Structure 1
């Protein structure tokens, strides 16, 4: 069950998830077995849809794990498209490479081992879609690093905008409502500061969608 949707609504959303190929289904099982928090099929389907809606040719991920979200994105890319995966865990990055090779998408992928904030400095824009799914305290820094590299008409999507098992959703809500709660941990503060920035920025138009653990979708004006 989703942490942010009522049970009946979550059941309906899951029933509407698009069909996945065998590799994606295997990746979902793998994530469950090792306790890795992938974005899940409902969010994955939205990521693919978002990429198709903006006609994405270049995508950048802040945090890729073993490639689950990248696999969804890759399905939407043209043959000459590019997706940049970033991951500091070499084993997970190798798994991502193997999964994307099996799906026939490895030629479109760049596999970058190390810190995503350092990696993005090596790339020129524009990127049509950016996914932020790294450590939560680093969300504002990720936005600052990629802000000028997002194409006009492109989107920035931040996962875990509401929940992650780490941050305090009640305090995030209080902060974005204008409050000043005490004892805010750095993960909660990172998400809240990110949401305030994209909400109030003239560069972006943002909406939060309660799929998975909440995604903030920001359209670049």
Structure 2
């Protein structure tokens, strides 16, 4: 039994999510990583669902959390992200750099940029 039952309940749909590594990592290790992730906010969860439904490439919650941690421990204040799609990882970066940091979003598709902009506003990071 996991010491984090609430997180497991919140991630019930993540076990079969398309961003899982699918044979690259040992399933038990990946299951453990997903079981200890803190719950994501509503915007990130919605983005995960949109990405899965529309085959939009995102890094997924485990990698998003890793990016967040790397930015925090390195005290990053500026992040340049190339090819950001709907902005899923951009939000992780923006939350990590804080209100005095800047994240530079890039994507060649104007439709992605419009969707990302709306998500940034809802996530409260559009000023970064």
Q: Work out whether the TM-score is over 0.5.
A: yes
User: How far off its partner does 1:56 sit?
Assistant: 1.0
Matches within 5 A, 1:57-76: 57-76=77-96
Matches within 5 A, 1:83-102: 83-102=103-122
Q: Secondary structure at the match of 2:67?
A: helix
User: How far off its partner does 1:60 sit?
Assistant: 0.3
Which portions of structure 1, spanning 4 or more consecutive aligned residues, are displaced by more than 4 angstroms? none
Q: Check the 8 A contact 2:57/2:85 in 1, yes or no.
A: no
Which one has a larger percent helix, Structure 1 or Structure 2?
A: 2
User: How far off its partner does 1:34 sit?
Assistant: 0.3
Matches within 5 A, 1:138-149: none
> Residue 73 of structure 2 is aligned with which of 44, 47, 53?
53
Matched, 1:42 2:69: no
Alignment partners' CA distance in 2, 1:30 and 1:2: 19
Q: Secondary structure at the match of 1:11?
A: helix
CA RMSD of aligned residues (A): 1.0
Matched with 1:2 is 21
Matched with 1:21 is 41
Matches within 5 A, 1:121-132: none
Alignment partners' CA distance in 1, 2:65 and 2:38: 6
Alignment partners' CA distance in 1, 2:68 and 2:39: 12
User: How far off its partner does 1:78 sit?
Assistant: 2.5
Matches within 5 A, 1:169-188: none
**What TM-score do the two structures reach when normalised by structure 2?**
0.81
> Residue 77 of structure 1 is aligned with which of 76, 85, 97?
97
Gaps of 5+ in 1: 109-221
